[in-house]
A and B are shown apart, each in its own frame.
Chain A
């Protein structure tokens, strides 16, 4: 199991794996392309299609009037239209669409649509939004202890403001959807992480019962949260086009329009006040957190929720008080993105801890150590800390840290314009949806008489290899080799009422459901096998093992396919549909600010060593070491792949990735202006160590969710850069992410002025 390769690896490596756009075309298929607004806020006065409809291959226009059902795709909060009837809320918002016979013509045609607006004053940043106090409800609050007392007992108090930047998902496969009309409904092939959301919302938009809309998703070319809610809008446009033309329709956004129009990671700002003793022990921490929530509620509230649930990160803080709001602005929506607010919250905590160390002239490693959570502590929201491995990973990495620290000191003595720095980022990341009701998984396992298996489950495959991992579980339990197991697309006619594939829970939830289903089947197979053993070999097999496609009892064995055949003809059920729900969680209660939202926490630590050029603001990551806690390691390559990918994505977020706007218009809408890391940006030395804690609270087979937590390791790169600058200037600098060369030079200069 440990070395199981990507279940579709061969298909991908030979170019045969199909993404939505690779599905063979239907006869007469059409292409729809949205017309995006060119203002941030205002009223639509007139849409002029006269130039557009004259072009070759034109088929039809599409406006809100063509929507047969509700013009609303909001999930958490209603009021998010497919096409606005009147008011434009962000630059790049789809206003209407055109349908043509070929894709290129649709692009050209959309450009020819002229929309007349009456522009209004837009709220373009958080500052203005705070001034207007327009926010999505509710406001969140968490309180523990008594901060006033805490500040009184502090030797020092620091205050300030810190923020984290917007991030574009930049999944490699841009938003895509295909809709095919059926005899009485529609089959939808979206590149989405949320099959059920699409099914339910499209049914409402198309004004038809849910059971006539089928959503089918085989795989997604990268999601990272960017395909959780964002695809729903484009699937809706595609479905309306198909409804209007009675033809198959495909929608495929150009990269620039994808970046322009889709949701991103929230910009979040925190003002903080932190009191601590002369030893660096935090006595009180008070936060006021504000997120730029964009034009529609989208997932802003749940994202904000996870932000505040992570705002203390790994540190036990006796007296804690927090308020948080997500403000409405006239920017594209802000949505789910790997870590879901967690990266922002933890960044604030780490930023503050770094400042404490600077203030006290102490090693930031030691300051962290003094404040770490221990078993028995309680989080600000009241969840008890159990099975905490923070101290353990700190002690494990310490020798490396000290060694690097010496190297850095030496280097910095010898170099004038190049300085090195080390950054640290520990994690304690809770796993489970913080909305309790979403923590459910589904699996359907079917056995066929040739010994092959079909597995459907509720997790959308988007590169996290939920398929490989679920297949491994089924394979292990049934004793059937992985080559004989086929993981099906997520099809809402086989597996339904799903939570989105998100929150690092896909394997925990669906893997457990698959485990249940295959365990039941294994038991059944063994029962039938026992009978066959008796009939054929006259033995009473006390223990039967399922392995290598066989049932084995001592020296005797029979093929599993034979058992399945027998089962079918003995009228046994050779399929199982199973369900799993995460135990012992309560979700987060927004009213009281308390709860036990997480089934378990994932722990770990990263240290990074960077070298920064103080003249150009360029930097290189020389080394990174990560120690990551898992209950058990089940497929090291998949786990390391998730850690490596998340780390680089996190490092990109805080360094080179920068969304640039002009009056609400995104300017960095192409890979030439929005830079995600390349192969040349990864650490020159990169060491990932997996620490198997054998935690009892872990999930399926003792593993823990791994998609999101390692994203937080990227923080270490930012703090390493910040520290290298401080080595140069000799003072604390006010570098804020993203640490682009420009911001680095600004931070250097800031200190000199």
Chain B
């Protein structure tokens, strides 16, 4: 059961990608059968695209390249056993960044022109990497099945930040499950190696200028392959919006970006798709723009890149936790904010936050660009206002004044889908409500903004009476369902309590 299909809504992942009208004009396709070309543990590799047997990077590593160090524990991105590191040039940060990714749900064609580092690459000439030594030294290995993935997550963290804090270590490793150690020894090993014992290996440094160069000279790439019994026959990585639109028109592909939602059912042998178009290589979609108080996030911006941006610019810190609580480091490294919006899950964390921020979507399509308020975007369970052939180019919003708070309630603190999540943004004036924005996820077929709440409570004094009334109002307003993540009754209760807690947080903040 994948994370969103566990809601009792009908199972569906594909949006309508049929083109209604065929545009006139010439579409030129260059079907180049060039091999999949990438760096693997410091060495250049080429792999004939026709020999690709499955869509996941993990399969290529284990079965085609015979690198069995990377393990498979779940095939759905949720255990971390298959973690590898991807080095690629970031147009946002203007440098090569290292991302841990769960290779089981990483579409293999994405590795084109990137640097893949696996557990086999860490020891050089018989000498172990300091992380490997620390794991052995601290007895951070029991059955060992989680070990390679753990080490790779830590490796990615240290490549970006050689002296991470305890919190950063926890964040980096919370997507790596271990059923044996209880993590104490793993934590000790990681803390130890974070005390300046780690240096970026030479083979990694050597690849950096090449990665930078390759990123800049990207062209469209179309792969076709022979996955037995898979209807997925073509994988398109366009390099510009323009060519993407042309491919979309001609091929009617399913559009993906990080693939974190898309890949889960593929591994299970279900998927009714033929052609995939992956937006992640389009430089024009890979930006975060800040103009005065206005922020605009391109379609290919991952959660991780956005979090780094917020940290660097010291922005939106009260809501940053919402993004940091999405999935694991590996998921945040691949999953995009716009993909999270488009996926239209009832509990999409970024959708909840962005709705509360009154965001607007910029949409690209054959008919040109259009804008739509995020609050108008969701129509029903997994149904959006996107028309066929359209994709989200970016999302934008104005930085809020006043107080903002995000709460996510789930069974587990990290790497869990919310039972209920909510975001509250409040501007006050002399202790009365000037504006109030409240959004809930997990209580309706899609995240909902309670518009009336602002009208009803505007101008009211902020006191326990008002807070209770707001909570009661929200409680009455929502009509959740029961599923594997909680009963309807529990969800309603959470709605009430979230409101109390948001104001409690506000109180604590003002008392500080």
Which residues from chain A sit less than 8 Å from chain B, CB to CB? 5-6, 8-19, 21-22, 55-57, 102, 104-105, 107-109, 111, 169-174, 219-224, 254-256, 417, 462-465, 613, 615-618, 620, 637-638, 640-641, 643-649, 656, 658, 660, 667-673, 675-682, 686, 740-742, 745-746, 749
Given known A-B contacts A102-B228, A672-B78, A741 and B184 have beta carbons under 8 A apart: no
Chain B residue nearest in CB terms to A670: B1
Across the interface, which residues of A come within 8 angstroms of B176, CB to CB? 678-679
Are B185 and A637 in contact, with the CB atoms below 8 A? yes
Residue B321 at the chain A interface, CB threshold 8 Å:
no
Given A615-B501, A672-B2, A742-B487, the answer on whether A222 and B179 have CB atoms closer than 8 Å is yes
Q: Which residues on A sit within 8 Å (CB–CB) of B128?
A: 10, 13-14
What are 24 inter-chain pairs, A to B, with CB distance below 8 A?
Answer: A8-B144, A9-B135, A13-B128, A13-B141, A14-B119, A14-B123, A14-B128, A15-B120, A170-B179, A172-B73, A254-B75, A254-B268, A465-B142, A616-B407, A616-B409, A640-B185, A641-B181, A644-B183, A645-B179, A672-B2, A675-B411, A678-B175, A680-B174, A741-B411
Contact indicator B180/A222 (Cβ below 8 Å): yes
- Ordered nearest first, which 3 A-B pairs have the shortest CB separation? A15-B69, A463-B143, A221-B145
Question: Which of A221, A668, A746 is in CB contact (< 8 Å) with B143?
Answer: A221
Nearest chain B residue, comparing its CB with the CB of A668: B484
Q: Is the CB of B229 within 8 A of A104?
A: yes
Q: Is B122's CB under 8 angstroms from A14's CB?
A: yes
Complex contacts, A22 vs chain B, CB 8 Å: 68
A613 to B504, CA, bound (A): 12
Once the chains bind, are A172 and B148 in contact (CB under 8 Å)?
A: no
From the candidates B139, B187, B490, name the one contacting A641 in the complex (CB within 8 A): B139
CB < 8 Å neighbour of A658 from B2, B407, B411: B411
CA distance A617 to B418 in the complex (A): 13
Looking at chain B's contact residues, is the secondary structure mostly helix, strand, loop, or mixed?
A: loop
Given contacts A111-B270, A673-B6, A679-B170, is CB(A638)–CB(B139) below 8 Å?
yes
Question: Which residues of B have CB within 8 Å of A678?
Answer: 173-177, 183, 412-415
Residue of B71, B139, B187, B228 near A104 (CB, 8 A) is B228
Q: Are B177 and A219 in contact (CB under 8 A)?
A: no
> B139 contacts which chain A residues (CB < 8 A)?
5-6, 9, 637-638, 640-641
Contacts of B25 in A (CB 8 A): none
Question: Is A5 a contact of B230 with CB atoms below 8 Å?
Answer: no
A635 closest partner in B (C-beta): B139
Q: Shortest beta-carbon distance, B52 to chain A, in Å?
A: 12
A462 to B180, CA, bound (A): 9
Interface centre among B137, B486, B493 (most CB of A within 10 A): B493
B486 lies within 8 A of A742 (CB): yes
Q: How far is the CB of A153 from chain B (nearest CB, A)?
A: 43
Is B494 interfacial (CB 8 A cutoff)?
A: yes
Contact check, A676 vs B500: say whether CB atoms are below 8 A apart.
no
User: Min CB distance, B167 to chain A, in Å?
Assistant: 9
Interface bits B116-149 vs A (CB < 8 Å: 1, else 0): 0011101100001000110111110111111110
Report the nearest B residue to A17, measured CB to CB. B144
B182 CB–A CB distance under 8 Å:
yes
Greatest chain B CB density within 10 A among A465, A615, A749 is at A615
Q: Which residues from chain A contact B500 at a C-beta distance below 8 Å?
A: 417, 615
Q: How far is the CA of A682 from the CA of B413 in the complex (A)?
A: 11
Q: Are A13 and B147 in contact (CB under 8 A)?
A: yes
Per-position 1/0 for B470-506, Cβ under 8 A of A: 0000000000000011110010011001101100100
Q: Which residue of A lies closest to B146 (CB)?
A: A172
Is B365 an interface position by the 8 A CB rule? no
Which of B1, B147, B504 contacts A669, CB < 8 Å?
Answer: B1
For window 149-188 of B, CB contacts with A under 8 Å fall at: 151, 169-171, 173-187
Q: In the complex, A75 Cα to B137 Cα: how many Å?
A: 41
A642 CB to closest chain B CB (Å) equals: 8
Enumerate chain B residues within 8 angstroms of A647, measured Cβ to Cβ. 182
Residues in B whose Cβ lies below 8 Å from that of A677: 182-183, 412
Check B180–A671 contact: CB distance below 8 A: no
Given contacts A641-B139, A742-B487, 16 further A-B contacts (CB under 8 A): A5-B137, A10-B128, A10-B132, A13-B148, A15-B119, A16-B69, A255-B73, A256-B268, A615-B501, A616-B497, A616-B501, A641-B185, A643-B182, A671-B76, A673-B1, A740-B411
Q: Smallest Cβ distance from B120 to chain A, in angstroms?
A: 5
Chain B residues lying within 8 Å of A618, measured Cβ to Cβ, are 409, 413
Within 8 A of A (CB), among B431-477: none
Closest to B135 in A: A13
Q: Are B411 and A745 in contact, with the CB atoms below 8 A?
A: no
CB–CB A644/B185 < 8 A:
yes
The closest CB in chain B to the CB of A658 belongs to: B411
Pairwise interchain contact A463-B6, C-beta atoms closer than 8 A: no
For the complex, give the distance between the alpha carbons of A247 and B128 in Å. Answer: 39
B101 within 8 A of A: no
B342-359 residues with Cβ-Cβ distance < 8 A to A are: none
Structural contact, A6 and B183, CB atoms closer than 8 A: no
A219 to chain B: which residues have CB within 8 Å?
Answer: 143-144
B171 contact set on A, CB distance < 8 A: 680
Interface residue? B70 (CB, 8 A): yes
Whether B254 is near chain A, meaning CB under 8 Å from some CB there, is no
A interface footprint on B40-75 (CB within 8 Å = 1, 0 otherwise): 000000000000011000010000000111111111
Q: Which residues of A contact B230 (CB under 8 A)?
A: 104, 108
Are A105 and B228 in contact, with the CB atoms below 8 A? yes
Q: Is the CB of B73 within 8 A of A173?
A: yes
Is A57 a contact of B229 with CB atoms below 8 Å?
yes
Report yes or no: B79 in contact with A671, Cβ–Cβ below 8 A: yes
Q: How far is the CB of A5 from chain B (nearest CB, A)?
A: 5
State the CA gap A670–B228 with chains docked (Å): 25
CA distance A657 to B68 in the complex (A): 30
Contact A107 B409, beta carbon cutoff 8 Å: no
Which residue from A104, A172, A256 sits with its C-beta under 8 Å from B54? A104
CA distance A670 to B59 in the complex (A): 20
Bound: A10/B139 CA distance, A? 11
Task: Convert B232-276 into 0s and 1s, putting 1 for each residue whose CB lies closer than 8 angstroms to a CB of A.
Answer: 000000000000000000000000000000000001111000000
Q: Does A670 lie within 8 Å of B182, measured CB to CB?
A: no
Contact residues in A for B411 (Cβ distance below 8 Å): 656, 658, 675, 740-741
The distance in angstroms between the C-alpha atoms of A464 and B123, with both chains bound, is: 26
Tell whether, in the assembled complex, residue B229 and residue A19 are in contact, meaning their CB atoms are under 8 Å apart: no
Query: Which residues of A lie under 8 Å from residue B122 when comparing CB positions?
Result: 14
| B417 lies within 8 A of chain A by Cβ | yes
Contact (Cβ within 8 A) A13 B132: yes
A617 to B493 alpha-carbon distance, docked (Å): 11
Chain A's nearest CB lies how many Å from the CB of B121?
9
* Chain A CB within 8 A of B227 CB: yes
The answer to the question of B427 belonging to the interface, with a C-beta cut-off of 8 Å to chain A, is: no
Asked whether B229 lies within 8 Å of A55 as measured between CB atoms, the reply is: yes
Residues on the B chain within 8 Å of A649, using CB: 179, 182
A667 adjacent to B6 (CB under 8 Å): yes
Q: Which of B177, B268, B412, B490 has the most CB of A within 10 A?
A: B412
Given contacts A171-B179, A615-B501, A681-B412, contact A742 B419 (CB under 8 A): yes
Q: Which residues of A contact B173 (CB under 8 A)?
A: 678-679
Which residues of the other chain, B, contact A641 by a CB distance below 8 angstroms? 139, 142, 180-182, 184-185
Is B3 in contact with chain A by the CB < 8 A criterion?
Answer: yes
> Are A15's CB and B68's CB within 8 A?
yes
Q: Is the CB of A671 within 8 A of B229?
A: no
Report yes or no: A668 in contact with B490, Cβ–Cβ below 8 A: no
Q: Which residue of B lies closest to A637 (CB)?
A: B139
A680 to B177, CA, bound (A): 11
Contact assessment for B145 and A222 in the assembled complex, using a CB-CB cutoff below 8 Å: yes
CB distance from A572 to the nearest CB of B (A): 37
Among residues of A, the one whose C-beta sits closest to the C-beta of B504 is A417
Residues on A with C-beta less than 8 A from B78 are 670-672
Q: Does B81 contact A (CB under 8 A)?
A: yes
**CB closest residue in chain B, given A15:** B69
B416 near A: Cβ within 8 Å?
Answer: yes
Complexed CA–CA distance, A616 and B170 (Å): 22
Find chain B residues with CB under 8 A from A673 CB.
Answer: 1, 3, 6, 484-485
Return the chain A residue nearest B122 by Cβ. A14
